[in-house]
Structure 1
Amino acid sequence: MTSSLERPQYTVTRKRIRTLRMTVKAPHGSVHVSAPFHVSDAAIAEFVASKASWIRKAQQRIAAQPAPLEPGDPETERLRRQLRRDAQPLIAYWAERMGVPVPHLTVRTMTTRWGSCNKDRQRISLSTELARRDPELLEYVIVHELAHLIEPSHSQRFYRVMDTYLPDWKAKRRILNGRS
């Protein structure tokens, strides 16, 4: 269901969840609400209206971002090669420093995360978008993914590993996620 009675416009998906959830998605800043079956349309509209300021800020942040990368596009392929070239020495350095094996690197166009780690396959994947960011932020993502080779979950132990190897990781995460 799409509502146009309230500004901003939004799409609702009914799910088996307990609370209302809202996301503003790139590249167009569309607003998506996930709602429990028992919540009325009026309650959803009120929820969205109450978050109008937050929605506008999120949409402005999205509008300020560069156009998303398209798989197969020559610019995307250039950035992919650049990221691989920049990441390899950082991965080797940090893997040795952290005492983990050097994992296989995959560079992919990802829309919802900066990186991922498959501990069983000893593989990390990095988002091509990282090539557009400050190299210190690439280093943060690499250390984060290598930390998963030590501790797979985001547990207290994982965060202790991050604190040990990259004490300012929280500030870098805030910058990377646009919350500096």
Structure 2
Amino acid sequence: MEVRRSARRRRTVSARREGDRVVVLIPASMSRAEERVWVARMLDRLKAGERRRKPSDADLLARATDLSERYLGGHARPRSIRWVTNQKSRWGSCTPSDGSIRLSDRLQGMPSYVVDYVILHELAHLLVAGHSRDFWTLLRSYPKLERARGFLDGVALARGFDITDDDDVESAEDATA
């Protein structure tokens, strides 16, 4: 960790990562006692933000359990859920036979409602294979379903990914009809 004092900085304090270390920027006029208080506060804020953007596997499992309770009546019970780096064409995947869910690390930093949608999508696959009417009916109760799907389509399009999946689109339309 490094503390940088600036004569130009009057009131604001900020913290950021630069490579492997944390840099805290403070006004040059700040006392050592104030520095200690602000450095601790900024480190806590930085860690909290990182936890929100990149939850641990245990955090993901608790989140998946909560989402299953709220939107799927608790029927989907994953045994594990984790981030993976090898998914380049999918946002998530699951193996119903062992109850495992994998989320692409490309989701990290996306809005929480988008990550929640992908988790719910994979939870629904623990109950229903494929993208049938029954599958989309399970997801219908998620209030940000279409917004999250649109967000992911926009990201995919911007990155040059193929977003056409006729079965997926037809089934989603059937479920809302």
User: TM-score under structure 1 normalisation?
Assistant: 0.50
Alignment: residue pair count: 103
Superposed displacement of residue 150, structure 1? 1.4
| 1:95 maps to amino acid | S
Give the 5 Å matches for 1:151-170.
151-164=128-141, 166-170=142-146
Partner letter of residue 123 of structure 1?
S
User: Are 2:69 and 1:93 aligned?
Assistant: no
Q: Which runs of 5+ in 1 are unaligned?
A: 1-73
1:124 shift after superposition: 0.5
What residue is the counterpart of 2:148 in the other structure? 172
Percent identity for Structure 1 against Structure 2: 29
* 1:82 aligns to 2:40 (yes or no): no
Q: Does 1:146 align with 2:118?
A: no
Stretches (4+) displaced over 4 A: none
Task: Give the Å deviation of 1:83.
Answer: 3.4
1:63 aligned partner: none
Instruction: State the AA in 1 paired with 2:92.
Output: G
Q: Is the 8 A contact 1:96 1:102 kept in 2?
A: no
1:124 paired with 2:97, answer no
Shift of 1:100: 1.9
CA distance in 2, matches of 1:101, 1:91: 8
Counterpart CA distance in 2 for 1:95 and 1:140 is 11
In structure 2, the partner of 1:115 is: 92
Q: Which of 58, 67, 79 in structure 2 is aligned with 1:103?
A: 79
Mapping for residues 13-52 of structure 1, pairs under 5 Å = none
What is the CA distance between 1:91 and its match in structure 2? 0.7
Any idea what SS the aligned residue of 1:178 has? helix
The AA in structure 2 aligned to 1:135 is: S
**Displacement of 1:167:** 3.7
Find the residue that maps to 1:113 and give its secondary structure. Answer: coil
User: What secondary structure does 2:90 align onto?
Assistant: coil
TM-score by length of 2: 0.51
TM superposition shift of 1:113: 0.8
**1:176 positional shift:** 1.7
Q: CA RMSD in A?
A: 2.7
Q: In 1, Cα distance between the equivalents of 2:103 and 2:124? A: 14
